[in-house]
Each structure stands twice: as C-alpha cells, then as structure tokens.
A and B are shown apart, each in its own frame.
Chain A
Amino acid sequence: MKKIRLPLDEKIISGLNAGDRVLLTGIIYTARDATHKRLTDCIKNKKKLPLELRNQTIYYTGPAPAKPKQIIGSCGPTTSSRMDEYTSALLGKSLKGMIGKGDRSKEVVSAIKKHKAVYFIAPGGCGALLSQTVKKCDLVAYGELGCEAIYKLEIKDFPAIVGIDCRGKNIYKKKNK
C-alpha cells in the first residue's frame, strides 16, 4: 500500500500505476454534477474560478449532512462517468487528481494522458468507512447547492486504487485482457 501526500506533483503521479493500492493524505475538494457545470461555465466565460485547481484533487461526492459534533456525514464516491463531459476543461486548468467510481470515457482517458493526471477509485458505497478518514471539512463555494457544494476536506489515509494512470493505463480495461 503506497502512502501518497496531496497535493500531487509530477513525480508522485509518474510513480503511480493502474491497480496500485494507495492511502491518500492531505487536501481534496468535493464536486459533483451541478458544481462541474458551474466550474466549466466559469472557464467558458473566462470568469475567475472559486478555487485554484493547479495540482489539486477533486473528489466526486455529495456527502450526507453531518450530525452534531460530526465532521462530515457519510461520503462515498459517486459515478464518475457523469462528470466525463466536464473533465477535459478542468484538466486544462491543471487539475491533477480525481477520485470517484466506475470507468471513464475514451476522451477522459486521453485527457488524463495528455495532462499527466491520475484517476483514483474509492470503494463504492462505503460512505461510512470513508467518512472516518475526513479530519476537517470547510465550505469553499456554492453553499446554496447543499451536498453538491465545494467542500475542502482534509483526509488521512483515505483508501483508493489507481484506476487510470498518467500513461493512460486503465484498470477497467486491463482486467478484460
């Protein structure tokens, strides 16, 4: 199991191979459907993004509300393919990591290769387990979107698997060969 410190850099990314099991520690940002639409609209209209994407990692999740004294509610990954149409634009802004579940489109795989990024898979449906790795949660933007807002999460030893590496190797394709 490789221990990875976020934010990512070129050296870390090039050392990751599809199928590697990793534990992620550091900062990630949550974003799913509605947020992706807003972020890419910002890019299209040349408006300022509400966060700096350079070298950052986005986690596709819409957490359940936190109970009193809880940092975050259940927060497992959502289906990544719904974010496919927005992904190239974000990678163009130097986003380097994504965490979600399920396979990605051909276009996304090429964009990951082109921009030297990485796609991680988190255990699907394991929102209770993953919530235990979140040490801090702060609202960054789009609070009105509720669970779809952008939250900055500080995570420790978040378990994931490298799904698509920076050479475009894809674990979902590998297993069929």
Chain B
Amino acid sequence: MRIIKKDKIVEAVKNLCIKSNFEIDKDVERLLEKAYKEENDILPKEVIRDILKNCSIAKAKKIPMCQDTGLTVVFVKKGEGIQVEGGLEEAIREGVRKGYREGYFRKSIVDPLTRKNTEDNTPATIHTSLAKGDGLKITVVPRGFGSENMGKASMLDIGNCVKEVKKFVLDSVKESGGNSCPPVVIGIGIGGTLEKAALLAKEALINDSEDGRKNVTVKKLEKDLLKEINKLNIGPGGLGGKTTALRVTIKTYPTHIAGLPVAINIGCWCHRVQTIVL
C-alpha cells in the first residue's frame, strides 16, 4: 500500500485552483484562435479578440480570467493501492481554501437556502472513483455559474433516441443564448440514471481523452450536433456569428430498456481544467 501525505494533496489542489483560474484550457485556446480566423463579421470577431486579449492579460498579470472563479469541482481517480494520510476530502477542502485565498479569488459558495456565504469557497463538489494501481489523479474544474446555470437533465422518450437527444440539446443551447458566454464547450451525458447522466455530462465537458473509445453513432452525433449548434447564429457573446460552440463531447453509459436519461452541461469559453497525477 502506497501512502500519500495530506500536505502533498493540499499543495497540489491549491496550485491547480490557482493555475486553472489564470490560464485557459489549451485545447479551448486553440479552438478560439481557429474561430477568430473563421468569423467574418465585426462583432463576433471583436468578441473573440477581446477574449484572447483577456486571456493574455490574465496570464501575464496573474488576474483571474473571469471574476466568477467558480464553484470548485474536483474529480479524483484514486488507485486501489493508495492510502491518504489525514483524509482525502479534508485535504481537498484545505487546498481549495488556500488556493482561493492566495489567488485572491472570489468566494462564491453559499448555503442553498439561507444564501449565507461559507467565506472560503468550500466545500468543493468532489467526485471520486476507484482505479487500478497506486496512482492518484486530481482534476480541478472551477465552474462559473453563468454557464453552469444553463445545464439541464431530462428523462426522454425512447421512440427515436438520436432525434430526441438532438432536440433536447438544440433547445437547451438556444435557450441559453448569450447567457453562457459563448463560444461554449458542451458536455452531454446519455444513459445510466438521472444522476449518472448528469455526471457523464460533466465528465464529457472536461473532455478527458484518456477513456476515449467511442462508437460510430456517438462520434456522428457529436459531429452533427456541433454543426447544427453552429447554425443557430447565437455566436460569440450571443451577438450572432458562426461559432456558438467550440466543441461537443458525448459520454454514454448503458441504461434501462424503458428509459433515455440525458443531461447537458454547458461551459463558457472560459473553460478551466487542470490535472495532476501524484
């Protein structure tokens, strides 16, 4: 059994929180640069130019790209042969607390009903899964609520599954309009149960290529949806244009004969994901 000290995790989570808020996800940056070249009209082009300028100021001056430094979602893949001395959840909590304090990030977490702020941006929303071996993979995803608020889950009819999913996704994106800070990245979860579909959507959003074997139907659906979403003319900033979504990623899981759970998680262009393997 490999033993890992709590302090090591605290430090790692802190650094991931800080880096993720200062630096845009590399793949999204590449897609934004491509979109900048493809847009012709002045308004959408200018929005993307501002976004790219914003990213370089944030990185150079160590200012969070977006003031909504988010609710911190943390994915942990924990090897069966590893033990955390001092408690994994407590370590993550402390790492988030430190990261948001030292980074001068906004503390956005409140009690859902009384709306009282916890003042240190904790607790994080943590998803832990087990893996073989003795590694520990931590992924930090600060989620701004301009886009998180536009997410949805639904139990669809099983008549024409692909058609139903397409309608659900297109309606959701249409409804979100300029609120979710397009160009967006989109994660879609299909299958399992209601909560499984929602979690799959979040996993799809972060586009972890590690577990990437997809069947032809899924690949085609991703491609078709991206194309159809970009015909909606929502565009950068919601001001019209070719680029409404930069990326559509789908994750599926077997479900019940009677059901078709589906969820969509929309991410603003300010997509923040940082990973470390300890």
Contacts and interface: CB of A to CB of B under 8 A. Distances in A.
A64 B67 contact: yes
B275 interface: no
Interface string A45-88: 00000000000000001111111001001111011010000000
Q: Is the interface of A mostly helix, strand, loop or mixed?
A: loop
Interface in B211-227: none
Which of under 10, 10 to 19, 20 to 34, or 35 or more describes the interface residues of A?
A: 35 or more
B104 A128 contact: no
A76 B270 CA distance: 12
B43 interface: yes
A151 to B, nearest CB: 12
Contact of A125 (B63, B117, B177, B268): B268
B65 A64 contact: no
Interface string B33-50: 000000000010011001
Q: How large is the interface on B (under 10, 10 to 19, 20 to 34, 35 or more residues)?
A: 35 or more
B88 interface: no
A58 B115 CA distance: 23
Contacts of B117: 146
A127 B270 CA distance: 10
A79 B54 contact: no
Interface in A100-115: 101-103
A124 B63 contact: no
Interface of B: 43, 46-47, 50-51, 53-55, 57-58, 61-69, 104-108, 115, 117, 144, 146, 149, 177-179, 181, 233, 235, 237-240, 268-270
